[in-house]
Structures are given as C-alpha cells and as structure tokens.
Amino acid sequence: MNRVSLFFLLFLISQFSYGQFRIKGKVTDAETGDPIPFAAVLIKGTGTGMNTDFEGFYDLEIKEAADSIQVSYLGYITQVKPISNSPEQTINFQLRPSDFELEAFVFEAGENPAFEIIRQAVERRKDFDKRSLEAYETKNYTKIEIDIDHLSEEFRQRKTVQKVTSVLDSIRQLTNDEGEKILPVFFSETVSRFYFRNNPLLRKEIVEKSKVTGVGITDGSTTSQITGSAFQEYNFYRNWLTILEKEFVSPIADGWKTFYDYDLMDSVLVGQDTCYQLQVYPRREQDLAFSGTIWIKKEDYSLKQVDLTVPNSANLNFIERIKIQQELEPTEKGPLIPKRTRVQIKIGQVTPNTAGLLAKFYTATDSVKLSEPKATKFFNNAVELKPDFGEASEEFWAANRMDPLSSEELAVLQMVDTLKKIPVIRFYSEGLKFFATGFLPVGKIDLGPWTEFGNYNNVEGLRGGFGLRTNYKFSKKWAFQGYLAYGFKDQRFKYSVSAKNILDRKHWTTLELKSTREIDQVGLEMESLEGNSIFLAASRFGTLRRPFISTSQQLNFDREFFKGFLFRTGIRRAQFDPLFDFYFIEKGTGELKSDFQTTEWRASLRYGRDEIILINDNERSSLGPSKWPILELNYARGFDWLGGEIDYQKLSFYLYQRLNMGLFGVSRYELDAGKVFGEVPYPILKNHLGNETLFYTTAAFNTMNFNEFASDQFISLRYRHFFEGFLLNRIPLMRRLKWRAVANANFLMGSVSDQNINNIPAFGPDGTALESFGRLDPTRPYIELGYGIENIFKFFRVDFFHRMTYLDMPEARPFVVKVSAQIIL
C-alpha cells in the first residue's frame, strides 16, 4: 500500500470516528428517581449541548474530543462527569435538589421585558384554553406511584420496620448510590377515554383497562375510578388551579402582576418552535404560587411547556414540594391539550420519628379528537368502568404504554407485590382501613362498624354490640347490613337491619327495606348522622339530652335520572317513646300523651351540577362539587292513618357551595330553610342544634345551648371563610408561623305558631314541671360572629365566638372559646 492509499484510509477512519462520537443518557432526581425534563446538558469546553426531553433523556453527537459533560437545572446542584474515549457511551446523572433563594432582579430603565411577553400570553388565553372547545375526546395513559420516603435510621430500627426491610433488602434498590432509599406501597396503570363538552360544562372518563397493586388494596373497581386522568388535570389557562383542595394561582392568571415576578432568561428552540424561556417567582414566598420555568412560543404567545414547583416556603403543612411538568400541543382549532403531565407531591414527616410520603402522577395523552358534543345523558356517571377493565395481558400494556416502564418502575412493582405478602404489613394496613371505614373485611362480609362494639352513657350504662354487612364479593345486586347492641343499665336490646337491592348501577337505582330500634336524642336524631360513624358514637357517649327510644320501619327508593340529579322517595313508620319527662296535648281529645306514632311519606330532589360521584362497592360516595352549588328540596307528609297519629307536612330547602375568592381565600356557605305545616309535638319541629361542648363544630350554633330553640318555620345561613395566608402572611413576625385566619358568621330566623306552643303543657299529670323550648322572635335574628386562628403547630385551631342577640335568655353565653384539632395542608 502506497503512502497516498494509506493516507486516504486513515482519513476515512478519522472521518468515520469523527461523526460517530456519541454520548447519551438520562437525567433524574436523586431523591425520587423521576426524570428531569428540560435540563441543560453541555459538553464542557465546546458549544455543543441540548436540553433533556420530557422523559429526561439526551442524545449528543460531538465533533471533537472532550473530557467532561455537565448537567444543570434551576433548583438542582450542577453535576459534572468525565467522558471516556469510547466512541459510544451512556452517562446518567442523578441531580440533588438545592436550597436556593429567589433573586431580586433590578431593571435600570424601562419595563421588565418579560412583562410584555406575559401580557401578550394573558391577552390570548381564551384562544388556547381547551375549555373553549365545543367538545373533544382523548385517549389517556395514566400511572401513579406512591412511596414512603424519609426513612430515618431511627424509623428503620423499629422492630416492625426491620421485619419489612429484611425482606426487601434482597430486592434491588430503586436508586443507585447517589439516590435515597424509598419504600413503594402503591402502583397503578390506567388506559382510558376522556370526554369533554362545553355548554353545559361536562366531563366523563371511561376506564378501558386498569391495573392496580398496592398495600391494603382489596377492591380494584373502587380504586380504578380515581387512578385515571380525570383527577390529574392541571390547566394553567385557568386563573386558579385546585391541588389538594388548595387554590394555586397560575403564572398567566389575570392578576399575574399581583403575584409574580418574571425574568426573561433566553430565546430557545423547543422542538420546531422558537420560545421565550421565562423564570417565574412568587412576589411573596408564603403565597400559594409557583416558581420555576415556563416556555412561551414567540409565534403566538401560547404555552409550550412548564416546569413549576411550589416551594416549601409556601403556606402549606407537611408539603415539602409540589412539582408540575407539562408539555402542551395545539389542536387543529388552536386550543392546547397537555400531551404529557408529570406531578410530584412530596409530603414530609409529621414528626421526626415517622416517615414521609412521595406521590408521583404521570399522564400521557394521545388520539385527540374534536368531535360533536355527546348527549348530556352520556355524562351521567363522571367515571365509568368497562366490564372487563381488570383483564389485560402484558402484551396489551406493552402496546398501550406511550412510554415503556423504566427499570426503576419494574422494581417498584416487584417490591409492592412483595410488601403485600408480609404479615406485619397486612396487619397494619387492614387495621388502618378498619379504623377509617369502621369495617373489617372478612371474605364476603365486613365486620363492624367498630363504633357499635362499645360505649357508655347515663341511660344505657355500659353498652356492647356487634354488627356486620355483606360486601361486593357477596353480591353486586344485594347488600345486607345489621347490628345488635345491649345496654347493661337499661337492659334493652337495640338493633338495625336492612336489605338493599341495586336495580341499576348506571342510573343509580336502589330499593331498601330497613328496621331499627335505637336510642335517639331530640334534635340529634341518628338518621341525620348516618355516614358519620365517629360523630355518631361521640353523640351517644356521656350524658344524653332528651333521649327517647325510636322504633322505625322504612322503605326507600333512590334513582339518579341524569348526572347530578337524584330523586329519593320512601315511607317511614316510627314510634316515639320518651326517656325524659315529656307530654303534649293531643289534638281533638285534649288529653296528655307522652308517646306517639308517625307514618310519613318522603320525597326529595338533589342536584349537584359538577358533583363527582363514585360507586364505592355497593354505595355511592360523593367527592363534593368543584364550582357549582348543591341544592336539595325535601318534602314529607305525615298521615293520621296507616298507624300514624298525627297529620302534618314538612318542606325544606338546602343549599351548599364552596367559593374560591382568589387572593382572599376560600368561603363555604350553607343555606337552610324549612316550614312545618300542622299541629305537632315539638320533637317533630326543627330543633336547632346548639353546642355546649368545648369543641368547635360546623354543624351547630356554637353559642347556642342544647335544645334552646325550636321552630316550625325558619331560615338559617352558616358562612365560613378561610383566609389561608392572605392576612397573616403580610405580618413579618407571624408569617413564619404559617398561621391562618378564619371567620364565621351564623344567622338564624325562625318562629313557632301559637298552635304548636299551646300543645305543650307546663306541668305533667303528677305536677312535675316539664322542659320546653325557647322561641325565636320572627323580627329578630339569632346572630353569632366568630374569628380565629388555624394551623397552630400545624394541627390546632382556636375560635372565638360572640353571641350578638338573645343575650337576655336564661344561661345565655355571650362569648365562648372553641378548640379543635385538624389535619390540613
């Protein structure tokens, strides 16, 4: 080979190597193992670099040898690693979060250049808000992972924890030596179809396939309804985003200048689009606002992608970090649909000796269709499961995952499956569920509620009992429930038995027969407390006020005709047997009676336009409304036949709404009004609930005494406002305490007709003075005003109430202090 040929060959080899020098890898969070999108990757000493994609990957070809590669991203410690001589190599990075302070930017002349960009983006919000579309549908893939983290050494040394870690030590760790150990307890994947229509605003998700594995998870159908994309919506084109029932202001909200500062960092190419890269900062670090980076397209000022964090300086409890990363893509009509969304919620330790929690949510959207709006009746159920939702092969998941599971996620699945089989884990998870729900699943039945197992009060003395109910494993058509209790002092048995047939699950339709014999209290009837087992148990403890034996049989029918519109009707026969000195003058005979029977037909209409309802086994569960009020209209007719002795009618109206007041916090109000037609004993009237205890409750008038007032026509308004951090965040010495101001205003107007006053004698047959009730002046409202502080040491709340009217009543309390404990974020 001559020199020319040799030179030519070496030239070709050098050129081949020159074009094939390639470095790729993945950038992840060292604490969570999650990918870090949009991070800057730079070959040091050259101008070659790129940003990681949404999954944290990068892939670089370089034209000259270099000795190191650097990765940096705001909020993380920059990391540098050496490059080897290999023509193709993989270098992964695990970045650790850094504590950084928000910088103050000073502009010498003119307006901050970022302001005009934000102003243009805000002005064009309606052009890109997906809610402006008439209708659309998408195919979504959602995965959720929940881990226990902050595994302190003291926590790991506990005997129960050691039993777990000894089993898991044989399984590979989720992060390498640069990461921290986590203990996964839940993992789910869901493929669903999401439907939206405007005017009226309706949403629906049909879960096609779902795979759920988790510690303590026994019913996939219930869990699968909340693991889809319907509960993972983050729309930054709204002024306020609701996260964990808190309202966070968007960086492109109408009042953006009130909440945020901005810095124009660069002009960058994202995919095929040239974008402004802006850094956003809360003006006040305690506000519920985001910090991080947003990318706005130069062409039309639409959002391209966001990487935003709620820092731990915000006025939140237990939350160390909320991080939202999102990529958006335009539809053919212009408005944007999130293509990928990743959310991390990191919950810190409640106490130093406990562990923290890390929740990760990921949603990918595909197959966007701008279709004709579906009929309103299609949206009857907010979440619907296909009959075979739990049956899917591994081939199906491999084909329908928009991104394959990482090696870390595969390890999560293995660890969760292992955890579920550890006896101590099963014991604690079942115990927590038993405490929370009141029932312990044992095959096809549930034992409970535990509140019926034991109690003590002045009437029954020591009370013992036992109950059970069937669950969905027994039948999805029939549900049976009952309990039996015995009071050792009064020597009476109490019981409740019911049988319910579920006629239709799509338009929730049930028929229920129920029989009960129980101790009740005037104004605090057990029927009104159903579903609140802990409060019900507390109301039966200690001294019972105006107790009576209630024996009833009832037949109830429920049907949801369309989304949010529920019709209820039924007939109830009840016997009132007082356990206190009580008499009334019987209409017609003029005789004194102490007991009476009623036969009552009832009908009610309930409408919650955007109330989210889930079918939890054989029960309906409400997650509450998001914007619109809930309305109820109730009617009851008491007959003096079919065993009934009293003829009357009752009509009532109820309205509840949660109001987002933006900067000023959140309000809730309840409007309640009613009227009783006819002459009745006062236990049938509206006995307004007072509160003589030390503890605050939203269900009562907190300065009113028990059984102080009753009415046969009334209207009441209970208003509560939560300022969040609006007031106290602005006081320098108090903002670090993260206290939050609250306010209450309760109003009541009512009256009692003469006929219902005159049927109550002053004395019984033996001359004993009888307890009565106070009357409200129809021209003078009962008013109490309150103010207080919540979030004291993260748990406690103190309220101060002033009784403004009826101060001349016997034993009136003009000022009271109420305390309560709560776990709030």
The CATH number of whichever domain residue 30 belongs to comes to 2.60.40.1120
740-751 and 291-297 as β-strands: parallel, antiparallel, unpaired?
unpaired
pLDDT at 176: 35
604: in domain = no
**DSSP conformational letter for 429:** H
Alpha-carbon separation of residue 339 from 35, 252, 316, 564 (angstroms): 16, 19, 29, 30
Q: Is there a single domain that holds both residue 724 and residue 763?
A: yes
Q: Is there a single domain that holds both residue 68 and residue 166?
A: no
Q: Is there a single domain that holds both residue 141 and residue 86?
A: no
In 3D space, the residue among 329, 289, 306 whose CA is nearest the CA of residue 128 turns out to be: 329
278: in domain = yes
Q: Is there a single domain that holds both residue 49 and residue 133?
A: no
Rg (CA), the chain: 32
Q: Is there a single domain that holds both residue 398 and residue 262?
A: yes
695: in domain = yes
480: in domain = no
Q: Is there a single domain that holds both residue 143 and residue 52?
A: no
pLDDT at 538: 63
Q: Is there a single domain that holds both residue 274 and residue 416?
A: yes
Domain endpoint, select from 426, 456, 480? 426
* pTM over the 0.85 mark: no
pLDDT at 631: 96
Q: Is there a single domain that holds both residue 80 and residue 134?
A: no
Domain endpoint, select from 95, 125, 159? 95
Residue type, 324: I
pLDDT at 587: 84
Q: Based on the structure, what is the number of domains in the chain?
A: 3
Rounded CA-CA distance 591/788 in Å is 50
68: containing domain = 3-95
Q: 């070659």: which residue's tokens?
A: 48
Domain endpoint, select from 381, 404, 426? 426
Q: Is there a single domain that holds both residue 154 and residue 14?
A: no
pLDDT at 163: 57
pLDDT at 157: 62
Q: Which residues in the chain show pLDDT less than 50?
A: 1, 3-18, 100-107, 170-172, 174-179
In 3D space, the residue among 661, 664, 726, 723 whose CA is nearest the CA of residue 287 turns out to be: 726
350: in domain = yes
List the alpha helices (DSSP H) in 291-440.
Answer: 394-400, 407-420, 423-437
Q: Is there a single domain that holds both residue 187 and residue 326?
A: yes
In 3D space, the residue among 549, 151, 173, 628 whose CA is nearest the CA of residue 352 turns out to be: 151
Q: Is there a single domain that holds both residue 260 and residue 392?
A: yes
302: in domain = yes
pLDDT at 509: 94
Q: Is there a single domain that holds both residue 135 and residue 63?
A: no
pLDDT at 590: 84
23: in domain = yes
Q: 């040799």: which residue's tokens?
A: 6
pLDDT at 639: 93
807: in domain = yes
Q: Could you check whether the bond before residue 404 is cis, i.e. omega within 30 degrees of 0?
A: no
pLDDT at 106: 47
